[in-house]
Structure 1
Amino acid sequence: MAGRLAILACGGALPVLLARAHPEALHFTLRGVPSELAHSAQEFPLEQIGALFDAMKAAGVDRMVFAGSLVRPALNPAEFDTEMIRLAPGLMAAIPQGDDALLRFVIGMFEEQGFDVLGAHELLPGLTVEPGLAVGPAPSKAELADAARAAHILSEISPLDIGQGCAVAGGQCLGIETVQGTDAILAYVAQTPIALRRGQRGVYVKGPKRGQDLRIDMPTVGPSTVDAVADAGLAGLVLAAGAVVILERETALRRAQERGIFVISQALA
């Protein structure tokens, strides 16, 4: 007999969507990490990770999903329980290696306890953008060339574990997403003079890093991303097919039509 599903809920709309689609799921949150499901969740400090494991097992949980944007809470070693003391050396070693290494370690922590870690896209069909999506004006040959250039840049920097997005105009890299996130890089691009864009509006490409585990921290866009792309003066948004979550899908795509930009999906090289 199958056990229960647990949602480890962090920030944003995704945990709410999962909770609506899976009303039988139990909700858990981490102290210091804001979540829209906080009212219905059991909260645990990360320092007491053993207590979280025990609570999940006692509730019959055998499957879990990480959902939402995770802000790393500060850790107080004085509060570490026995399990966190055991895990701390590996956790501390993973942190300087970048987000991918850290998140793989976190997934491994839960798998070691016998939990099957699922991706949100496995629990919400249609969550990711499908191949061939095309909304808004058709991109020009120059814009498709800029998209290919941005995808190549993202592929080349994947081993450095820097970010999931890149803006290019006229073959010129206008910016690469880093820890500050998509909104920050697009706000920066908006300040780039048109003279530096080589006569092109440019595009923003969003996709996972090469080899990224898509069960956690999958690239995500929504209506605010569409607005930010338009506000930055870019012609459109290019998404990795099957590997980018699109939240509030109908609103986001309608907004693209209204703002006169394209949203397309394709395989990224």
Structure 2
Amino acid sequence: MARLGILAGGGALPPAILQAHPDAYVLTFAGVQHLMGPDAPVFPIDRIGAIYAALREAGVTDVVFAGGLSRPALDPAQFDDDMRALAPHLLAAMQQGDDAVLRLVVQTFEDQGFAVRGAHEVLPALTAYAGLVAGSQPTDADMADAACGFEILAQTAALDIGQGCVVANGLCLGFETLQGTDAMLRFVSETPEKLRHAAKGGVLVKTPKAGQDLRVDMPAVGPDTLRAAAKAGLNGIVITAGNVVVLDRPQIAKVAEDAGVFLWAAEPQA
């Protein structure tokens, strides 16, 4: 019988998956702040062979990568044989961007005989159906800004830069880069009023890049994202249905009501 292994990063997603799959085997990585408790085994990524061995010893057949994980600082002196074999390919992939790195990681675990599952596959309720998820109905102006944001992200997808942007009255106020969504929203919140006089309100648009492997890099929004959007003066967040993780919906509903913002799921772009 299949057993799930959760390779846990930071944030609320790994605990949510564990709650749904209490028999899963959990491990996390050295240097990663996580919510899996003190008993979760910790492995340095430099010794990836030990990770394979631990998964096999635990009877794991399927693995899911869940939670935030930044690029690790690798120490060649600590490499085991498996990492030494992987390192040249990993370094080459890093020069091509995050998508290339994630594709290599998936291929590596598949080559070891593990089936790689997406968080949305092991916890289907994570994503949203098209329509209003929380808050009040977005206006026509909000939807026009969302359409502009989707177009911006579609045009930049091949550059492998980010998964989100902020648009207000047709003006792009921020674009997600390596620093992530929270940093982008802080940047938007700090935009001087004189530059935003014609860009009141606005929306955060969040969607996967074209060709992105959703098994290991699905965008996510949660209550903190909605709070940050409200603090940045936005009217709400627009995501794509079925391919963005929505965390802690009861709390999202409360934040939306308290802050007067919305979360809307649009049909994926053709």
For 2:71 and 2:189, the matched residues in 1 are separated by: 28
Gapped regions of structure 1 (runs ≥ 5): none
Superposition map of 1:157-236 within 5 A? 157-197=156-196, 198-236=198-236
Corresponding residue number in structure 1 for 2:18: 19
- Deviation, structure 1 residue 3: 3.1
- Deviation, structure 1 residue 261: 1.3
Corresponding residue number in structure 2 for 1:3: 2
**Does the CA contact (< 8 Å) of 2:127 and 2:243 recur in 1?**
yes
For 1:168 and 1:199, the matched residues in 2 are separated by: 8
For 1:122 and 1:105, the matched residues in 2 are separated by: 20
For 1:44 and 1:199, the matched residues in 2 are separated by: 47
- Deviation, structure 1 residue 32: 1.7
TM-score, with structure 1 as normaliser? 0.95
For 2:144 and 2:101, the matched residues in 1 are separated by: 34
Corresponding residue number in structure 2 for 1:85: 84
- Deviation, structure 1 residue 175: 0.7
For 1:168 and 1:8, the matched residues in 2 are separated by: 34
**Does the CA contact (< 8 Å) of 1:165 and 1:207 recur in 2?**
yes
Count residues with an aligned counterpart: 268
**Does the CA contact (< 8 Å) of 2:171 and 2:199 recur in 1?**
no
Structure 1 residues 134 and 11: CA distance shift in structure 2, 3 A: closer
What's the % identity of the aligned pairs?
A: 52
Corresponding residue number in structure 1 for 2:137: 138
Structure 1 residues 173 and 80: CA distance shift in structure 2, 3 A: same
Structure 1 residues 56 and 135: CA distance shift in structure 2, 3 A: closer
- Deviation, structure 1 residue 125: 2.3
**Does the CA contact (< 8 Å) of 1:29 and 1:38 recur in 2?**
no
For 2:71 and 2:191, the matched residues in 1 are separated by: 31
For 1:169 and 1:134, the matched residues in 2 are separated by: 21
Post-superposition Cα deviations, 1:32-54, rounded to whole Å, max 9, x if no partner, equal 22222252322221111112112
Corresponding residue number in structure 2 for 1:96: 95
Corresponding residue number in structure 2 for 1:69: 68
The residue type equivalent to 1:137 in the other structure is S
- Deviation, structure 1 residue 136: 2.3
For 1:151 and 1:195, the matched residues in 2 are separated by: 26
- Deviation, structure 1 residue 217: 2.1
For 1:46 and 1:122, the matched residues in 2 are separated by: 25
Gapped regions of structure 2 (runs ≥ 5): none
For 2:118 and 2:39, the matched residues in 1 are separated by: 21
